[in-house]
Amino acid sequence: MESLDEFSVIKDYFFGLSHGAATVIGPGDDCAVLRLPIGEELATSSDTLIEGSHFPFGSDGDDIAYRAIATSASDLAAMGAQPLASVLSVSLPVIDTAWLEDFTQGLAQAVQCFSLPLVGGDLTAGPLSITVTVYGSLPANHGLLRSGARPGETVLVSGTLGDAAAGLAFLNNEWEPDQADREFLARRFFRPESRLNLASSLLKIASAAIDISDGLLADVGHIASASSLSIRIDARKIPLSPALSKLENSQQVLEWALSGGDDYELCFTMPANKTVPSGCTVIGFTTSGNGVSCDGVEIIGSRKGYRHF
Amino acid sequence: MESLDEFSVIKDYFFGLSHGAATVIGPGDDCAVLRLPIGEELATSSDTLIEGSHFPFGSDGDDIAYRAIATSASDLAAMGAQPLASVLSVSLPVIDTAWLEDFTQGLAQAVQCFSLPLVGGDLTAGPLSITVTVYGSLPANHGLLRSGARPGETVLVSGTLGDAAAGLAFLNNEWEPDQADREFLARRFFRPESRLNLASSLLKIASAAIDISDGLLADVGHIASASSLSIRIDARKIPLSPALSKLENSQQVLEWALSGGDDYELCFTMPANKTVPSGCTVIGFTTSGNGVSCDGVEIIGSRKGYRHF
């Protein structure tokens, strides 16, 4: 694409997605400038997704873009933060206009869905990878941390677990779901819900929260460790989608739900007398001690979720 | 390194660099949380550096880390912003403790030098690349943009130009500097000054600014274009280091200084009656019209700096 250079590509494809209440200066200058609500603090997170590691080789551009924004949005949700904006850094082996149009379509959908206008971008030549930085706002000193859980509280998750891992296994040709469930499961991998809609209610009721990226057991382990207590999970209470609950191989389903990761649902703790938010399920409780157990079995390293190395 | 996993690596190597006045929550939770000075806005930028594209294969870890922070610091300086914090996203082919220790040493130096405490990080397996996001603060509605230049102003640069391009050419074995100049030139590539110390004075006197990453002519072109005017550069006024000014091949030196990029010095415009800040040099002026000329010759696409594709 001889007529395209880095600057015109960025301009053509990404500059239209920057409008938002927080945007003072959007893309095209040395920095983006954002306005925070008065008295609020900035919550921010930056994550890189790499082809072949975080999504299968040959994934559609729109799915990759959507997932990159959604998984970062999930970090804001897990802090109880309200979304302000996002910045994208993309490394691409070649400029392929059809791919970029596809990518931008998914980006536009995600940016709108999660209220994360794209205020800056950087495009470089290299192996396909996407780094998204997200910006959110929080009432001062009120961020929802992993360390705030207390013994005697309930442990909850949003949505259903295991779908994304089952979807990824399907995308990797490791099993064949029913025809009717294939799109649902693939979407659960590529289009995580990222529960930003729960953020403000969790700020009021939850004592600790995390998003489930590495697998439920690994991620509740982070809450247990940061809060210096023990978390007991009841596997029968794990919420499953119809696509998974109907499967005969319940051991595989449990593995996906407990250790699969990629669901980007929220796991949180709250005092037992609080009302369970809509769409959430109690799956266990906290107690003094340390570590995580599931159906009474202590969980040790080997099942503690996905590791990159 | 079987005993190392993603989490302990991040924890061991990066968690000690997060302390700063703006840091409310550092690394280890879903988001970092930053406090902005009252009434100020957030300036932010995110850039990816890829091995073989932004720095030579086999570069030392400490140089790569330092350069990644420094080049992003430069974006804050070009907006007139004060540094608050940084977040790092690193993709590594393997966990190599010696390399990581080296990398962290350069990181620690840069984080201290530019007052950009590292409040978050993400480590993934993949081809070597580094994405740095920086956070700075600005008085509301006072960011120094590329679009603020007016006809009849002077054009200035900080420091000396061309050293980084000459250093990179040396690192790529394209020429041999005098023994005495080799370390200086390599450092000018790997350890850019990133003039954050100029940021507050530029906020008061400058009308537009940009950092020189793609080459002087390309970058003043962005100011000319954003400000809808013409910029005239006098090549004889370009400040050169002793290492370059003593070279006989003045055409090559000029090429490095005008089009080489990677210097991360600041280029800015200001009314002609303002005092030239210490360490800065007047190299031209603005006038009505459009485009950039150098010694009276209109600059067209072919010399407009580095393109990634």
pTM, full prediction: 0.92
Comparing CA positions, the residue from A159, A154, A160 lying closest to residue A223 is A154
**If residue B101 lies in a helix (H) or strand (E), which one and from where to where?**
helix B97-113
How far is CA B267 from each of CA A132, B99, B108, B115, B198, rounded to the nearest angstrom? 29, 35, 27, 22, 11
Window 40-79 of B: residues touching A by CB (8 A cutoff) are 41-48, 50, 52-54, 75-76, 78-79
Question: pLDDT in tens for each of the 309 residues of chain A?
Answer: 334 466 577 667 777 899 999 999 999 899 999 999 999 999 999 999 998 888 888 899 999 999 999 999 999 999 999 999 999 999 988 888 888 899 999 999 999 999 999 999 888 888 899 999 999 999 998 899 999 999 999 999 999 999 999 999 999 999 999 999 999 999 999 999 999 999 999 999 999 999 999 999 999 999 999 999 999 999 999 999 999 999 999 899 999 999 998 999 999 999 999 999 999 999 999 999 999 999 989 887 544 444 444
Given a cut of 60, is residue B304 above it in pLDDT?
A: no
pLDDT band at B188 (very low <50, low <70, confident <90, very high): very high
Calculate how close chain A gets to B167, using CA atoms only, in Å: 22
Which residues neighbour A197 within 8 Å (Cβ) at sequence distance 6 or greater? none
Mean pLDDT value across residues B17-40? 95
Distance CA A267, CA B146 (A): 44
Distance CA A220, CA A296 (A): 15
**If residue A130 lies in a helix (H) or strand (E), which one and from where to where?**
strand A129-139
Torsion of CA A89, A34, A201, A164, to 10 degrees: -10
Residues of B in contact with A212 (CB under 8 A): none
Mean confidence (pLDDT) of chain B? 92
Window 212-231 of A: residues touching B by CB (8 A cutoff) are 226
Calculate how close chain B gets to A73, using CA atoms only, in Å: 10
Res A171: pLDDT? 94
Given a cut of 90, is residue B58 above it in pLDDT?
A: no
Which residues neighbour A59 within 8 Å (Cβ) at sequence distance 6 or greater? A51, A171, A190
Q: With contact defined as beta carbons under 8 Å apart, do A124 and A90 qualify?
A: yes
Given a cut of 90, is residue B73 above it in pLDDT?
A: yes
Highest CATH level, class, for A6-139: alpha beta
**Cβ contact A124–B79 (<8 Å):** no
Calculate how close chain A gets to B273, using CA atoms only, in Å: 26
DSSP string, B235-264: GGGS---HHHHT-S-HHHHHHHHHH-----
**If residue A254 lies in a helix (H) or strand (E), which one and from where to where?**
helix A250-259
Res A220: pLDDT? 96
CB atoms within 10 A of CB B155: 26
pLDDT band at B3 (very low <50, low <70, confident <90, very high): very low
How far is CA A42 from each of CA A45, A89, B43, B231, B261, rounded to the nearest angstrom? 10, 20, 12, 38, 33
Given a cut of 90, is residue B254 above it in pLDDT?
A: yes
Phi first, then psi, for residue A220 (nearest 5°) are -65, -30
Which residues neighbour B273 within 8 Å (Cβ) at sequence distance 6 or greater? none
Say which range, A223-227, A250-254, B22-26, B94-98, has the weakest mean pLDDT: B94-98
**In CATH, what number does B153-303 get?**
3.90.650.10
Residue recorded with tokens 């086999």: B58
Res A126: pLDDT? 87
Residue recorded with tokens 């080789």: A57
Distance CA A202, CA A199 (A): 5
Res B5: pLDDT? 63
Mean pLDDT value across residues B218-228? 96
Res A67: pLDDT? 96
Res A162: pLDDT? 97
Phi first, then psi, for residue A163 (nearest 5°) are -65, -40
Say which range, A69-83, B50-64, B199-213, has the weakest mean pLDDT: B50-64
Res B52: pLDDT? 86
**Cβ contact B41–A47 (<8 Å):** no
Res A7: pLDDT? 59
When CB atoms are compared, the residue of A34, A45, A94 closest to B42 is A34
| Bigger pLDDT: B144 vs B7 | B144
Establish if A3 touches chain B: CB-CB under 8 angstroms.
no
Comparing CA positions, the residue from A182, A186, A181, A150 lying closest to residue A168 is A186
Mean pLDDT value across residues B158-162? 97
Res B7: pLDDT? 59
Domain boundaries along the sequence of chain A: 6-139, 153-303
**Cβ contact B94–A32 (<8 Å):** no
Window 13-42 of B: residues touching A by CB (8 A cutoff) are 24-25, 28-36, 41-42
Window 124-153 of A: residues touching B by CB (8 A cutoff) are 124-127, 129, 131, 133-136, 138, 140-141, 143, 145-147
Amino acid identity at B213: S
How far is CA B105 from each of CA A265, B56, B66, B164, rounded to the nearest angstrom? 37, 19, 9, 22
Percent with pLDDT over 90 in chain B: 78
